[in-house]
C-alpha cells in the first residue's frame, strides 16, 4: 500500500510539473501579446495627448489676440507667439504618429489649412492693433472669422479625439479579452497543478500533520507574547507564586530605574516600594479569586535616583496553569508621571493665578484709595467749605471742585482703560496697541518703537485679546525687570498667521527661568506662563530668546482658529506701565 501511494505521489508530481511548464509557456505568449497591446494603447494615448495640446495651442492663439484687442497690452500676445511656434511642431508630431493612416493624413491636411488660415487672419490684424489704426468693425469681422475657423478646427480635432477614443476602446477590449483567455487557461492549469501537489503533500505528510500543527500553535503563541513584551512602551512583568519577578519586557527596567540584573528576583513590594504585608495580601487575593485589579495607582522614589518620584498606573491579572490553578501574576505598568506632574503644575498655576488676582484687586483698591479716593475726599471738603463760605469766595472753591472732578474722571478712565481698553473692541488691535505704547512711553519714560502694518485688518476677537495681553505683559516686564533703555515692537501678518515680537535691550532673563519656558508652567512667573498658555490655547507658538544684550518675546498665532470666547483673562498692566 505504501509503495502504491508513493507511485501515485510521484505521478501527481510529474503531472503538476508538466502543467506548470505549460502554464509558463502560455504566460510567456500572453505577456508578449499583452506587451504589443499595451504599446498600441500607449500609442493611442500619445495621439490623444498631441491632439489635446494642438487644440489648446489654437485656443491660446485666438484668446491671446482677443485679450490684446481688448486691453491693448502687447505682453498678452505671448500666448499667440508661443502658439505660432508650437502648432507646426504639434502638427508634424501628429503626422508622424498617424503616418500609417492615409485617412488621418487627409484630415490633418484640412486641419492644417484651417489653422494656417486662422493664424494668418490673426497675424494680419495685429499690426493695426499695435499701431492703433485698427477700427472696431474690422476687429469684429476678424474676430468672427477667426471664431468660425477655430470652431471648425476644434470640431475636426474633437472628431479625431472621438475616433482615437473608439480605437483605444477596441484595443483595450482586445487586450482585455486576450488577458482574460490567458488568465483562464493559466488559472485552470495552476488549479490542477495545485490540486495534484496538494494530494502529494497529503500523502507524504499525513503522519506528521498533527505534530506540525501543535508546534505551529505553540510557536505562534510564543511569538505573540514575545512581540508584546519586546515592542510595547508600557511595562509588562510576570511574578511567580512567591511574587518574585521572573520575566519582564525591555521597557519596565527603565520605568523602575533598575538594570535587568537588579530587577530579576525582586518582589513586587521591593519594586514598587510598598509595604510588604499589604502588597502580598493584595496579590494573594488575586491568585485566590482569579479576579484582576485594574487602574491601581502606585507612587514611589526610584532606587537609582533618590528623590525622584514616579507615578504608575498598575493592572494586576492572574495567569492560569494547565491544571486550572492560578500560579503566576501578570502586571501591566503605565508610567503616568508626566500627567501627574502636569496636573500638579496646573494646580500650582491656578493657585498662583488666584494669588495674582488677589494682588491685582488689592492694587486696584490701593490705586482707587490713593488717587481717586483722595480726590473725592478733597471734593467733599471743598463742598463743605462752599456751604460755609461767603458768596464772593464760591468761585474759587467751585473752580477747585471742577479741577478735582476732572482729575477723578481722568484717573477713573485711566484705570478702566488699563484693565481693558475700549479701543480693542471698537477699533481693533492696531489702534489699541498704538494707544497703549504711547501711554506706556509717557508713564515709564522708556521710548518704544511700534511697527504695525498700516493695512492690518480686524482679527478674531481671541487673537486680538491674546496679542494685546502679550504686548501689555511684555512691556510691563520691560519696565519692572529688564531696566532697558528702549524697546521695539514689530507685528507681521499674512493670510495664515499673525506674529508679534517685543524686543528690549535690557539685562535679559536669568537662565534658570528661561529653561522652563517650554517646560512646566508652574516653574515660570505668572506673566510668562500666562502668555505661553494663551498662545498654546490658540494653537500658536510662544518663544522667549534672552541673553546679555536683551530679551525678545515672540508669539505666532494661526488665523484659522474657532471664533469663541477666550477663557483666560490676564491682569492689566500696572500703573507704572
Rama region for 436: left / alpha / beta (φ>0; ψ in -120 to 50; rest): alpha
| Contact predicate 255/261, CB 8 Å | no
| Torsion angle, alpha carbons of 396, 402, 403, 409, to 10 | 170
Percent of the chain with pLDDT over 90: 5
Poorest-pLDDT segment among 161-165, 288-292, 405-409: 405-409
SS (H, E, C) 311-325: EEEEEEEEEECCCCC
Q: What is the pLDDT of residues 465-515, one digit of tens each?
A: 889 889 888 888 888 888 888 899 999 998 889 999 999 988 888 776 766
Q: What is the pLDDT of residue 566?
A: 38
pLDDT score of 514: 67
Q: In this predicted structure, what is the pLDDT of residue 296?
A: 82
Mean pLDDT score of the chain: 76
Cell 490705586 found at: 367
At the second CATH level, the architecture of 426-577 is: 2-Layer Sandwich (3.30)
Residue 523: band (very low, low, confident or very high) from pLDDT cuts 50, 70, 90: very low
pLDDT at residue 499 in the model: 94
- Residue pLDDT, tens place only, 336-378: 888 877 777 777 776 566 556 656 656 665 666 666 666 666 7
Q: Quick check: 164 pLDDT over 80?
A: no
pLDDT of residue 244: 85
Beta strand residue intervals within 15-125, DSSP E:
none
- Sketch the domain layout of the chain as residue ranges: 2-202, 232-335, 339-419, 426-577
In the predicted structure, residue 242 carries a pLDDT above the cut 50: yes
CB atoms within 10 A of CB 509: 22
pTM of the model: 0.38
pLDDT value at 58 more than 90: no
What is the mean pLDDT of the segment spanning 389-395? Answer: 65
Would you say residue 420 has pLDDT above 70?
no
Q: Is the pLDDT of residue 202 over 80?
A: no
- 545-564 pLDDT, tens per residue? 888 888 999 999 998 754 44
- Judged against a pLDDT cut of 60, whether residue 43 lies above it is answered with yes
Does residue 315 register a pLDDT over 50? yes
Domain 232-335 class in CATH: alpha beta
Query: What's the pLDDT score for residue 451?
Result: 93
Q: What is the pLDDT of residue 415?
A: 64
Region 38-47 average pLDDT? 79
Whether the per-residue pLDDT at 452 is higher than 80: the answer is: yes
Q: Nearest CA to 287 among 322, 320, 323, 326?
A: 326
- Give pLDDT, residue 556: 94
**What are 86-97's pLDDT values in tens digits?**
888 888 888 888
- Tell me which long-range contacts 89-97 makes (C-beta under 8 A, separation of at least 24): 90/50, 90/53, 90/54, 90/57, 91/54, 91/115, 93/50, 94/47, 94/50, 94/51, 94/54, 97/43, 97/46, 97/47, 97/50
The answer as to CATH 3.40.50.720 being correct for domain 2-202 is no
Distance CA 339, CA 299 (A): 13
Q: CA 212 to CA 224: how far, in whole Å?
A: 18
Would you state the pLDDT for residue 515?
66
Q: What is the pLDDT of residue 569?
A: 38
State phi, psi for 93 to the nearest 5 degrees.
Answer: -65, -40
Give the confidence band of 203 by pLDDT, cuts at 50, 70, 90: low
Instruction: Tell me whether residue 469 is exposed, middle or buried, using C-beta atoms within 10 angstroms of its C-beta: 0 to 12, 13 to 18, 19 or more.
Output: buried
Does the pLDDT value for residue 398 go beyond 90?
A: no
By mean pLDDT, which of 165-169, 251-255, 306-310 is the weakest?
Answer: 306-310
Residue 396 has φ and ψ, to the nearest 5°, of -65, -40
Amino acid at each position: 500500500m505504501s509503495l502504491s501511494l508513493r507511485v501515485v505521489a510521484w505521478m501527481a508530481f510529474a503531472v503538476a510539473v508538466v502543467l506548470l511548464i505549460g502554464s509558463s509557456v502560455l504566460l510567456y505568449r500572453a505577456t508578449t501579446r499583452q506587451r504589443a497591446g499595451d504599446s498600441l494603447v500607449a500609442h493611442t494615448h500619445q495621439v490623444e495627448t498631441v491632439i489635446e495640446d494642438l487644440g489648446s495651442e489654437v485656443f491660446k492663439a485666438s484668446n491671446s489676440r482677443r485679450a490684446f484687442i481688448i486691453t491693448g497690452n502687447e505682453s498678452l500676445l505671448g500666448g499667440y507667439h508661443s502658439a505660432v511656434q508650437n502648432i507646426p511642431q504639434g502638427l508634424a508630431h501628429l503626422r508622424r504618429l498617424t503616418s500609417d493612416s492615409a485617412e488621418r493624413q487627409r484630415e490633418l491636411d484640412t486641419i492644417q489649412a484651417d489653422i494656417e488660415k486662422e493664424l494668418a487672419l490673426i497675424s494680419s490684424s495685429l499690426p493695426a492693433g499695435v499701431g492703433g489704426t485698427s477700427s472696431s468693425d474690422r476687429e469684429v469681422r476678424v474676430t468672427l472669422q477667426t471664431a468660425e475657423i477655430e470652431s471648425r478646427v476644434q470640431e475636426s480635432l474633437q472628431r479625431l479625439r472621438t475616433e482615437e477614443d473608439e480605437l483605444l476602446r477596441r484595443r483595450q477590449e482586445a487586450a482585455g479579452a486576450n488577458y482574460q483567455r490567458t488568465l483562464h487557461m493559466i488559472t485552470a492549469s495552476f488549479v490542477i497543478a495545485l490540486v495534484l501537489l496538494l494530494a502529494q503533500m497529503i500523502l507524504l505528510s499525513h503522519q506528521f500533520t498533527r505534530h506540525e500543527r501543535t508546534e505551529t500553535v505553540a510557536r505562534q503563541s510564543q511569538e505573540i507574547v514575545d512581540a508584546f513584551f519586546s515592542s510595547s512602551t508600557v511595562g509588562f512583568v510576570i511574578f511567580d507564586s512567591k511574587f518574585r519577578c521572573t520575566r519582564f519586557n525591555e521597557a519596565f527596567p527603565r520605568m523602575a530605574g533598575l538594570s535587568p540584573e537588579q530587577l530579576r528576583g525582586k518582589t513586587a513590594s521591593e519594586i514598587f516600594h510598598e509595604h510588604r504585608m499589604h502588597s502580598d495580601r493584595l496579590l494573594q487575593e488575586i491568585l485566590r479569586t482569579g479576579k484582576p485589579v485594574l487602574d491601581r495607582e502606585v507612587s514611589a522614589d526610584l532606587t537609582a535616583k533618590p528623590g525622584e518620584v514616579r507615578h504608575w498606573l498598575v493592572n494586576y491579572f492572574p495567569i492560569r496553569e494547565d491544571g486550572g490553578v492560578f500560579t503566576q501574576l501578570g502586571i501591566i505598568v503605565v508610567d503616568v508621571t508626566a500627567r501627574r506632574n502636569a496636573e500638579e503644575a496646573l494646580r500650582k498655576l491656578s493657585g498662583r493665578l488666584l494669588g495674582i488676582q488677589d494682588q491685582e484687586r488689592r492694587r486696584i483698591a490701593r490705586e482707587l484709595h490713593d488717587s481717586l479716593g483722595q480726590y473725592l475726599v478733597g471734593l467733599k471738603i471743598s463742598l463743605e467749605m462752599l456751604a460755609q463760605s461767603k458768596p464772593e469766595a464760591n468761585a474759587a472753591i467751585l473752580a477747585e471742585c471742577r479741577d478735582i472732578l476732572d482729575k477723578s474722571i481722568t484717573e477713573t478712565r485711566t484705570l478702566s482703560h488699563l484693565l481693558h481698553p475700549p479701543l480693542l473692541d471698537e477699533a481693533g488691535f492696531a489702534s489699541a496697541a498704538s494707544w497703549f505704547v504711547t501711554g506706556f512711553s509717557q508713564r515709564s519714560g522708556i521710548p518704544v518703537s511700534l511697527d504695525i502694518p498700516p493695512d492690518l485688518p480686524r482679527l478674531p476677537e481671541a487673537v486680538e485679546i491674546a496679542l494685546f495681553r502679550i504686548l501689555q505683559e511684555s512691556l510691563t516686564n520691560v519696565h519692572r525687570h529688564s531696566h532697558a533703555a528702549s524697546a521695539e515692537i514689530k507685528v507681521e501678518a499674512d493670510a495664515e498667521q499673525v506674529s508679534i515680537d517685543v524686543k528690549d535691550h535690557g539685562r535679559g532673563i536669568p537662565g534658570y527661568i528661561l529653561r522652563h519656558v517650554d517646560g512646566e508652567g508652574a516653574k515660570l512667573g505668572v506673566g510668562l506662563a500666562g502668555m505661553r498658555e494663551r498662545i498654546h490655547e490658540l494653537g500658536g507658538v510662544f518663544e522667549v530668546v534672552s541673553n546679555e544684550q536683551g530679551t525678545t518675546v515672540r508669539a505666532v498665532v494661526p488665523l484659522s482658529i474657532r471664533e469663541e470666547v477666550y477663557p483666560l483673562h490676564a491682569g492689566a498692566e500696572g500703573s507704572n506701565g
